Amino acid sequence: MSHLLDDTDLAILNHLQDNGRAQRNTIAELVNLSVPSVSERMKKLEERGLIEGYNAILNSKKFHFDITAFIFVQVDGSENYRDFVDKAIVEPEVLECHSITGDGSHFLKVRTKNTGSFESLLSRIQAWEGVSKTRSNLVLSSFKETRKLPVEHAVELIKS
């Protein structure tokens, strides 16, 4: 089977997870390869879809988004999932929308500017068709909020 990852790929992936705009010569130095070789590896990782993309991380506090909360939403079984999602998707304050185990349960991660905007978002959600119950938890503090995948644990992809 071809297309396995070696330690060099893992090092590149790990570096890019923390440093998405890292330059190829920096990475090349890190992994002891020439710049074109790093370019080629990066291109392959992108083409294979292992790297989905890159993004800038903004500091939500600096934008005065002070409230992060999780909301469980119980949805009436007869209600269409897609409709729920369609409504969630247009709310820019909804950062994530998951369907989870438990009867008709959906789960939202939201970020709002203050308690007022949180309350109004919540009541908008409660007014959606089929929503029978919600339960919210506000985040007091976050000790780890990384999106970094521990790629070195994906052993079946890794060669040697």
* Binding positions for DNA, rule: CB under 7 A: 2, 8, 23-25, 32-37, 39-41, 44
Nearer to DNA, 8 or 17 (CB): 8
Three-point CA angle 150, 154, 160, nearest 5°: 120
Candidates 46, 50, 28; CA nearest to 37 is 28
Handedness of CA 60, 65, 69, 73 (dihedral sign): negative
From DNA, its own copies, none, interface partner of 11 (C-beta below 5 to 8 A by class): none
Residue placing its CB nearer to DNA in the complex, 2 or 78: 2
3-state class (DSSP) for residue 159: coil
Q: Give the residues across from 68 on adjacent strands.
A: 111
The partner in contact with residue 77, picked from DNA, its own copies, none with C-beta cut-offs of 5 to 8 angstroms by kind, is: none
- CB 145: neighbour CB atoms within 10 A? 9
Nearer to its own copies, 37 or 50 (CB): 50
- CA-nearest of 138, 82, 71 to 105 is 71
Q: Which does 35 bind (CB under 5 to 8 A by kind): its own copies, DNA, none?
A: DNA
8-state DSSP, 66: -
Minimum distance of DNA from residue 63's CB (angstroms): 18
* Closer of 45 and 79 to DNA (Cβ): 45
Chain residues binding its own copies by CB under 8 A are 13, 16-21, 48-60, 62-65, 68, 70, 85, 88-89, 92-102, 105, 107, 111, 113, 137-151, 153-154, 156-157
